[in-house]
Structure 1
Amino acid sequence: MTLPAGWTETTLGDLGNWQGGGTPSKLNRAFWTNGTVPWVSPKDMKRTLIDSAEDYITEAAISGSATNLVQEGSVLLVTRSGILQHSLPVAINIVPVAINQDLKALTPKAGILSPFVGYTLQARGPQILREFGKAGTTVDSIEFERLKSSAFALPPTSEQRLIVQKLDTLTAHLARVRTELDRIAVLADQLRSAALSTARAQLVASVVSITDLAISTFDGPFGSNLKSADYVPSGIRVIRLENIGRLKFIADKRSFISTQKYEALTKHTLKPGDILFSSFVDRHVRVCQFPAEFDGPAINKADCFTIRPNTAVCDARFVTYMLASPQTYDAMKAKVHGATRPRIGLSQLRGYELPLPDLEVQARIADQLDVVFADADRLEAEAARARALLNRLEAAVLAKGCCGELIPQDPDDEPASVLLERIMRQQGEERDKSRRLRKNNSAKEQPMTSKSSSARDKLLEDSQNWPTEGLKYEEVATRIALPHDELRDALFELLSEHEPKVRQVFDKASKQMMLQRIAA
């Protein structure tokens, strides 16, 4: 692509200092008890500004483990997580944080704005996943070194600032619209509940139990009659709890048994028009009709209660609607048992009573509710379409902003190439200054070999008391009072000796590297 005036091309790796993280040992309570430093992992990357985390660690954990302290205003990027199958989380920390091994952090150089880099990574997210994503056996990851070498279009600092201001305004507006669209689903659900409650409250009729209005009621096979080992990739459908929605049959979640197994369970065969009722009652009653257009035979599973209505006395649609009403929910909620998975029994459902007017009135009420529910479904569908358009609009706005098409270029801006040259010059001057300081202070400093040797001796002496199976690095660090860098240098020295007395081995049970003393 042709860069706008004043822009220059660099690499993602040259934007600043990249660093990774790690997980402090959970065995060391000093690393976690009363922690004050947010320890960010992928589960915290659900927002674009990070000021807290689910877990906190201590300063001792930072100095004594593989994690690092990331200064505020850095760009955080998830590089290893299952979420990379569909999205690339990017955020900016507004307080100092530590990160785990699944994240990378960029602290940009002066003149390179974190929000601009963050927006650019968001805009490039799909492309990054396509070009640098790597599928793993358990989680996906990013080939980070390749990503760091990829090209990055950098505008002048003043233009970065204007782009960020523009994108902040536009994305904030889109977020408000998205919030309003999300409310439509809540309002549609409230509309359905109000219609059901009103229809139920206005009924004036004698009550009839579920048993009296049904030809039969039955549960699915349970226990040894249908085990996990009985399921196969294809065959006869088994309708499970996840297929029962609130007045909606969820067909895309599929489970099967073999034809041979089905022959032993035919008494559980479902028929079109059967009413499926979930025994688990949580936020609302989940009940729906088994669809007439269902392809092939199917059975219900345990806790998927089935009511086969007697169409001579009741309209199946009417009964389904009344079972979904708030009044039924209140009655069932009072009957539930089980603290973690609140459920009712089949006998309680059989004994539940509904007001049952004549068939003509039932059909009229069901027709009216059909109209209300169709309107609510249409509202939700339109909101979903609008949200999809909003997502595409946001992606387009980010792309335009990060390639120079959102605001005009100012010819008076300092070109980004000059910015990079100045950064490189400053870095060279800092390196030269550091070399001079080391040279001037060399006579005053204790030789590195002496310090390392002292640390080496402490480590070697302690290794004589290690257990045969060895210790993890974090466990060694808690035994020896040495700064992290000194301990690490001493360990590398011992491991690199011509006849080493310490070695690293991989423990298959814990799936971790262990340090072992080599027997004399």
Structure 2
Amino acid sequence: MDAAEFLEKFDTFADLPRAAEKLRVLVLHYAAAGRLCRPDESDESIVETFPDLADDVEENAGRPGITFGRIGDWRGGGTPRKSEASYWGGEIPWVSPKDMKSVVIDDAQDRITQQAIDNSSAKLIPEGSLLMVVRGMILARSWPVATTSREVAINQDMKAVTLRHPELLPFVLLVLRAMEPTVLRLVKRSSHGTCKLKTQTLQKLWIPLPPLAEQRRIVAAVERLTALCDRLEAEHAERDARGAALARAATARFAADPTPETLETLFHESFDVSAADLRTSVLSLAAQGHLVPQDSSEGDANVRLAELEDSGGNPNVRRRVPKVAGSDEAAEGKTKALPANWALRSTASLLHLGALTDLKDGNHGANHPKVSEFSGDGLPFITAAQVSNHGGIDYDGAYKVGDAVLKRLRVGFAEPNDVIYTHKGSVGRVAICDRRCVLSPQTTYYRVDNSTLTSDFLHIFLQSPSFTEQVDNVKRQTTRDFVAISKQYSFQLHIPPLAEQRRIVAKADALLALIDRLETQQTAARDLAARTLDAAVAALVR
């Protein structure tokens, strides 16, 4: 297949995701494989053009070529002494892997002087040489190669090759770029993880050398096709920008009218809306009182909390729970942003009032069950690892605590309907408990008074930005992924009237389930597009 036939196939997958990226790889593959231009028998062979290559050119699968090690002069690099100020800040680019971001190198972040060249292992590399990275973590994902458009120096993580015949440079560069997947398989890792390519291994690579005239036709074809890929990428970027603007408008409509109908518009094929962002939006609307309309006949949460206070509150509140949390006063301004019949209270206040009947994590210190004490049956021992990001609890996969150990434990017994919150190790996972279990010090249970606060609404609220932003403020004050119980007492919870909580939960559950379903469809469509692209590329490669 030549370039013209390639272009005929172009439209079959130009609109697919990542098409430009795949096409660039495919173009290089065709170039290196000799499939981009038809051979011309009138072309002078490479040995006829360059007789001095005759002893080094060999045929491989019917194509003439040369090992990489014999194509030119190889040079390594070096680093002048950093302590010698006269070596640095000169006019000579000193190229290191961090500079290898394009296929033509004309400058570098660091520069050295002629004095550095004269007195160190760093030497001048002629203009028109090949540069490549041979050491560094970048080799874990890519193999940068480039040419120089001026004299440069390189560091010891690089190699340079000055070709015996500069006329070969454009084609050889294309071949090396096409060989990246092969070269990356040759990368070795040291005991401390550094990636490295051995010079001897690179020098054994076989470089095809078709007639020089054919090389030039191939390079010209690659330039035309690459320009086509660039234009395609620009068109995709413009289309994506339009889609993003439409998605923002659709997201705003959903925030103003959170219904299944407005939600489904966000999964249009022209949009790229994150399902995770949509879930966060639903949770935020639920926590702020914007998901369902308010109904004055459903009462006032502030009145309900006053009733609890008048009845004496919670007589069993734990002695370490402060009566007034430090952030209660600071939260007064936020109350104005909530519906008038919603309440805003700290966790500590809700514990004293009895809207929360208990909040506790697992056993610490000597009371913590030892690994040797776990058994095959008993109550599940729930750590952060057993609580999933999707709200489930893996009881079956948990260690079990038998009767002998249970008799020693004093706290940390979660009951059905408790809301479990992970506060250490993996902070922020939330689930509702459906059976009795024992918590580790990584997890907290929130136990509710069902006549004031439902577990289902609390489960939603603890996942919402209204709560997670408070958690993040605490986490920023420490280097540990940890939110102590004492900090949780200060967190502010939003309390709607009980009937509204139930309506919020019903609508949020319906919208979140729809997001899950639409995300599954979206993922399937993207997977199909990716497979279609891969199949089209594979068909062209064959």
TM-score bracket, normalised by the shorter chain, equals 0.5 to 0.7
Which deviates further from its counterpart, 31-40 or 366-375? 31-40
Conserved? CA contact 2:361–2:445, under 8 Å: no
Give structure 1 stretches of 5+ with no counterpart.
406-520
Give yes or no for the alignment of 1:368 onto 2:479.
Answer: no
Give yes or no for the alignment of 1:324 onto 2:463.
Answer: yes
Give yes or no for the alignment of 1:121 onto 2:176.
Answer: yes
Deviation of 1:367 after TM superposition, in Å, equals 0.7
Conserved? CA contact 1:49–1:94, under 8 Å: yes
Which residue number corresponds to residue 413 of structure 1?
Answer: none
Conserved? CA contact 1:75–1:117, under 8 Å: no
Give structure 2 stretches of 5+ with no counterpart.
1-31, 41-62, 245-270, 291-338
SS in 2 for 1:89: coil
Give yes or no for the alignment of 1:151 onto 2:206.
Answer: yes
Q: 1:14 to 1:100 in 2, by over 3 A?
A: same
Equivalent in 483, 488, 503 of residue 349 of structure 1: 488
SS in 1 for 2:122: coil
Q: Cα deviation per residue 1:61-104 (whole Å; 9 max; x = unaligned)?
A: 4443333444566544332334545x332242666554332222
Q: 1:104 to 1:36 in 2, by over 3 A?
A: closer
SS in 2 for 1:101: coil
SS in 2 for 1:66: coil
SS in 2 for 1:195: helix
Q: Cα deviation per residue 1:117-175 (whole Å; 9 max; x = unaligned)?
A: 44433432332333x33343223322321321221123433223224214523553675
Conserved? CA contact 2:360–2:411, under 8 Å: no
Deviation of 1:370 after TM superposition, in Å, equals 1.5
What letter is aligned with 1:202? G
SS in 2 for 1:112: helix
CA distance in 2, matches of 1:168, 1:277: 51
Deviation of 1:287 after TM superposition, in Å, equals 2.4
Deviation of 1:371 after TM superposition, in Å, equals 2.9
Which deviates further from its counterpart, 304-313 or 76-85? 304-313
TM-score (norm 2): 0.51
Aligned residue pairs total 376
SS in 1 for 2:135: coil
Give percent identity, aligned residues only: 23
Q: 1:26 to 1:35 in 2, by over 3 A?
A: farther
Conserved? CA contact 1:171–1:394, under 8 Å: no
Q: Cα deviation per residue 1:339-389 (whole Å; 9 max; x = unaligned)?
A: 877976533323321224435324313313423542574477458747965
Give yes or no for the alignment of 1:8 onto 2:147.
Answer: no
Which residue number corresponds to residue 191 of structure 1?
Answer: 278
Q: 1:322 to 1:89 in 2, by over 3 A?
A: farther
SS in 1 for 2:429: strand
Equivalent in 86, 107, 110 of residue 166 of structure 2: 110
CA distance in 1, matches of 2:167, 2:478: 57
Which residue number corresponds to residue 58 of structure 2?
Answer: none
Which residue number corresponds to residue 288 of structure 1?
Answer: 429
Which residue number corresponds to residue 444 of structure 2?
Answer: 306
Which residue number corresponds to residue 206 of structure 1?
Answer: 343
For residues 210-249 of structure 1, the aligned pairs below 5 Å read 210=347, 211=351, 216-218=358-360
SS in 2 for 1:8: strand
CA distance in 2, matches of 1:95, 1:250: 61
What letter is aligned with 2:510? Q
Q: 1:91 to 1:353 in 2, by over 3 A?
A: same
Which residue number corresponds to residue 338 of structure 1?
Answer: 477
SS in 2 for 1:191: helix
Which residue number corresponds to residue 79 of structure 2?
Answer: 23
Which residue number corresponds to residue 506 of structure 1?
Answer: none
Q: CA RMSD in A?
A: 5.5
CA distance in 1, matches of 2:460, 2:78: 53
CA distance in 1, matches of 2:537, 2:123: 32
Deviation of 1:29 after TM superposition, in Å, equals 4.1
SS in 1 for 2:421: strand
Deviation of 1:274 after TM superposition, in Å, equals 5.1
Conserved? CA contact 2:420–2:432, under 8 Å: no
Q: 1:239 to 1:157 in 2, by over 3 A?
A: farther
Conserved? CA contact 2:67–2:203, under 8 Å: yes
Which residue number corresponds to residue 169 of structure 1?
Answer: 227
Conserved? CA contact 2:393–2:433, under 8 Å: no
Conserved? CA contact 1:15–1:112, under 8 Å: no
TM-score (norm 1): 0.53
